[in-house]
Amino acid sequence: MIDTGNTAWLLMSAALVMLMTPGLAFFYGGMSRAKSVLNMMLMSFSSIAIVSVLWVLVGHSLTYAPGYGALDMFIGGFDYVGLSSIMTEVEPIDGTDGGYPWLVDAGFQLMFAVITVALISGAIADRAKFGAWLLFAPVWALLVYFPVAHWVWGGGWISTMGEWTGLPEVIDFAGGTAVHINAGAAALALVIVLGRRKGFGSESMRPHNLPFVLLGAALLWFGWFGFNAGSAYGANETAALALVNTQVATAAATAAWMLVERIRYGKVSALGFASGAIAGLVAITPAAANVTPVGAILVGVLSGAVCAYAISWKFKFKYDDALDVVGIHMVGGIIGCLALGFMASSAVPGGGDAGLFYGGGFGLLAAQVISVVGVMVYSFIVTWVIAKVIDLLIGFRIAEEVETNGLDHELHAESAYAFDELDEMEEEAVSSPTPPGGETASPQVKS
């Protein structure tokens, strides 16, 4: 029997998570330079197209289908290829007589796969061939995302670590390892292969449209309630806790980030507010259902403060993470996952193992560290190999002339802003004081 209330919540949550990728496009697009904003946004939108099809064909199966023998520790099987075998199946909900269509879960998790791939793109703004990205996205999903998601949620080695190590079960409620650390480590490998942008460290590369950044952050924040609260797989107490924790952690992270800015630079910025919000959202993702609301505030403060410093590490270590994917998503994901080793509470609705601060000992922290390191190392190495192979086959980096002129014009033959038309209007306004119609020329024509 279908539980329509929980099914409706999952359907809504899937829609909310889908909205996050267009939100990411605005967030990244606004942070990019004006001459490459469309290219940056298209990398997110193309991820929706590529990963959606790939997920139906093999992605859901490789993530959730039973694997073959010992391989099940690392990758799923092919029982759910094409999703035909699960179209009429109902997944029961523990403790109730109802359930939800299995296909709803497939659609919900599809949205996670989409945004994980899109997250990586921000690190390589202004310098990657679009064709190379279109090749990289499906290969990375196949070789990195699907296996790692299987490790965490599909019965792989991370989700079963407690059975063969005696450690507590790893906690990753909504994707701190599978999504954020995974994407952040991949971003670091990719920027090392592609190298730094022309002028990195010597030229101003400030965001060209901060209203876009704030709009994108708002859409991400809104969609994240589906990301976290939806991961409760029901309209229940766990979803309520995840929703509240998501809100307060994000709010606390913005405050911490702005405080760091005020101390370091004497001013608070709109970009800092938006970046702090994303840092808080990332950090609370793995911990949303396993810390108290006060614990969530502490996670938010920690992530906002640390990530505000982490984004400047790229200048110290000379890697060009253009839009701070490493500094926010990888670092924020690590903070959220490891914070559980200290702040996980067994008093939450779903129960679970407690962290050090609640008398749980070092076991949970050890399990969290192993999962974090395992995902980081695997994602970095495999991404580096994928990027190197693509670079050898077709070249991953654009020519210097294309980078200088802007990717929008050179790769897509269009522009986000009609610079040429505006220039022509300004020239006409200067040369002709009386515009057509006989009205006196307005000084606002040139503004």
pLDDT in tens, the chain (447 residues): 899 999 999 999 999 999 999 999 999 999 999 999 999 999 999 999 999 999 999 999 999 999 999 999 999 999 999 999 999 999 887 766 779 999 999 999 999 999 999 999 999 999 999 999 999 999 999 999 999 999 999 999 999 999 999 999 999 999 999 999 999 999 999 999 999 999 998 888 899 999 999 999 999 999 999 999 999 999 999 999 999 999 999 999 999 999 999 999 999 999 999 999 999 999 999 999 999 999 999 999 999 999 999 999 999 999 999 999 999 999 999 999 999 999 999 999 988 899 999 999 999 999 999 999 999 999 999 999 999 999 999 999 999 999 999 999 999 999 999 765 545 544 554 555 444 343 433 333 332
Q: Contact at 8 Å (CB) between 260 and 308?
A: yes
Quick one: three-class SS letters along the chain?
A: CECHHHHHHHHHHHHHHHHHHHHHHHHHHHHCCHHHHHHHHHHHHHHHHHHHHHHHHHHHHHHHCCCCHHHHHCCCCCCCHHHHHHCCCEEECCCCCCEEEHHHHHHHHHHHHHHHHHHHHHHHCCCECHHHHHHHHHHHHHHHHHHHHHHHHCCCCCCCHHHHHCCCCCCCCCCHHHHHHHHHHHHHHHHHHHCCCCCCCCCCCCCCCHHHHHHHHHHHHHHHHHHHHHHHCCCCHHHHHHHHHHHHHHHHHHHHHHHHHHHHHCCCCHHHHHHHHHHHHHHHCCCCCCCCHHHHHHHHHHHHHHHHHHCCHHHHHCCCCCCCHHHHHHHHHHHHHHHHHHHCCCCCCCCCCCCHHHCCCCHHHHHHHHHHHHHHHHHHHHHHHHHHHHHHHCCCECCHHHHHHCHHHHHHCCCCCCHHHHHHHHHHHHHCCCCCCCCCCCHHHHC
The tens digit of pLDDT for each residue in 315-351 reads 999 999 999 999 999 999 999 999 999 999 999 998 8
C-alpha 339/C-alpha 176 separation (Å) is 11
Q: Which token pair is 300?
A: 């938010």
- 0.75 exceeded by pTM: yes
Nearest 5°: phi and psi at 314?
Answer: -65, -30
C-alpha 56/C-alpha 66 separation (Å) is 16
